[in-house]
Amino acid sequence: MAAEITTQSHPLPLQDRVAIVTGGSRGIGKAISLHLASLGAKLVINYNSNSTQADLVVSEINSRSQNHQSESAISVKADVSDPNQVKYLFDAAESAFDSPIYVVVNAAGVMDATYSSISNSSVDEFDKIFAVNTRGAYLCCKEAAKRLKQGGGGRIICLTTSLVAALRPGYGAYTASKAAVEAMVKILAKELKGTKITANCVAPGPIATDLFFEGKSVEMVNKAVEAIPLGRLGRPDDVAPLVGFLASDAGEWVNGQIVRVNGGFV
């Protein structure tokens, strides 16, 4: 008589842990949201302008969920550069799932589409870039540190850019805005000593998203590809698994780091 084979179901790495992804409705943020959901997380998809895209991501996650009795994802509109709206985002996350927040991924970002030199750049554009990229990351890190402490630990992950290492002309304000975030996150990791919270940056290279292509000529895109030893632009799905690892228990020993995921771009 053949032995009966039994299978045991193992919990997913982020089973029922609440995750906020700012800028989670498109590009790299969307890929991260879908990946964290596949690891069992309950997702709060933050957006600022396009509710339709955010709702589509939420619908995709909820349709895949094994627990059809309750939602596994919601969308929340909030401008990350506004402290009151950031607080509202975190309140909404805690209220929706009646559980402490465990993962905060700050993927919201903007880039100067004109790629001007610093001497020819616009002060208004500089202010806009720093408002979202730097002030937004600061506010999300600040709120995350408070909330995750209350929950007994967690993960803070900020998306920056490999341009901080590459220092390419034409990206002065954008690169500076992300360099500031990298310095801040390294300090934050030390300030969170004893809280069981890790803080890291994931710094993608050129990734084929709307944000990357905006304002670029074919020549500019081809030049970026030529600078990558793997000979192609990255995809959002090249970045998402790294974020998933850092968000999981397996990533606990990675703390205060800038992880560049760029195919050898720098």
First to last CA, the chain: 60
Mapping DSSP to helix (H, G, I), strand (E, B) and coil, where does residue 203 land?
strand
Catalytic hit among 47, 115, 138, 174: 174
Residues in the chain: 266
Q: Tokens 């554009």 — which residue?
A: 125
Separation of CA 45 from chain center: 11
**174 included as an active-site residue:** yes
Q: Cα angle at 149 between 261 and 40, to 5 degrees?
A: 55
45: alpha, beta or left? (left if phi > 0; alpha if psi -120 to 50): beta
Q: Which of 222, 195, 77, 86 minimizes the C-alpha distance to 142?
A: 86
- The residues near 9 (Cβ < 8 Å, ≥ 6 apart) are none
Q: Which residues are catalytic?
A: 174
